[in-house]
């Protein structure tokens, strides 16, 4: 039983890592604005899906922690990339759009804030170094 559980956790993590990698690769290799927007929407939908999985406690333990951390880090990167904000606004059709992600971030607000502050601090350090 324990071996089956460990195998299941490993499969979940491998699947998540591959899905995120595939979405990030599609986004970085997109050549036109249309394909970039499509790739970004797919990436946001993936974040929403895994936020729902976490919110429903369909993963636990290490798998939950690793998925949680990747989701939060992805959101922090998106928050810092203002070019995508308008695309997100256009993707919101009703109050339920990205609801799972909002709920997830609400549950993990202290971690989200700490990661955002750490990203801001790194950005300020890099800016200071590059300006000298």
pLDDT at position 40 over 90: yes
Confidence tier at 131 by pLDDT (50, 70, 90): confident
What's residue 1's pLDDT?
Answer: 61
- Report the C-alpha dihedral over residues 108, 109, 113, 114, rounded to 10 degrees: -40
Cα dihedral: 76, 81, 82, 87 (round 10): -90
Least confident of 5-14, 82-91, 94-103: 5-14
Mean pLDDT of 21-39: 93
Q: What is the DSSP letter of 94?
A: S
Tell me the mean pLDDT in the region 97-124: 95
Q: Is the dihedral of CA 109, 58, 28, 102 positive or negative?
A: negative
How confident is the model over 12-33, as a mean pLDDT?
Answer: 93
**Does the pLDDT value for residue 16 go beyond 70?**
yes
């Amino acid at each position: 039983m324990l071996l089956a559980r460990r195998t299941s956790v490993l499969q979940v993590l491998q699947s998540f890592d591959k899905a995120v990698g595939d979405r990030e690769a599609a986004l970085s290799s997109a050549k036109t604005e249309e394909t970039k927007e499509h790739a970004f929407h797919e990436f946001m939908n993936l974040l929403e899906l895994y936020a729902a999985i976490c919110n429903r406690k369909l993963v636990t333990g290490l798998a939950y922690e690793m998925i949680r951390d990747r989701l939060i880090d992805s959101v922090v990167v998106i928050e810092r990339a203002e070019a995508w904000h308008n695309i997100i606004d256009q993707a919101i059709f009703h109050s339920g759009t990205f609801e799972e992600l909002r709920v997830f971030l609400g549950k993990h607000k202290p971690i989200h804030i700490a990661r955002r502050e750490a990203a801001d601090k790194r950005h300020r350090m890099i800016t200071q170094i590059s300006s000298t």
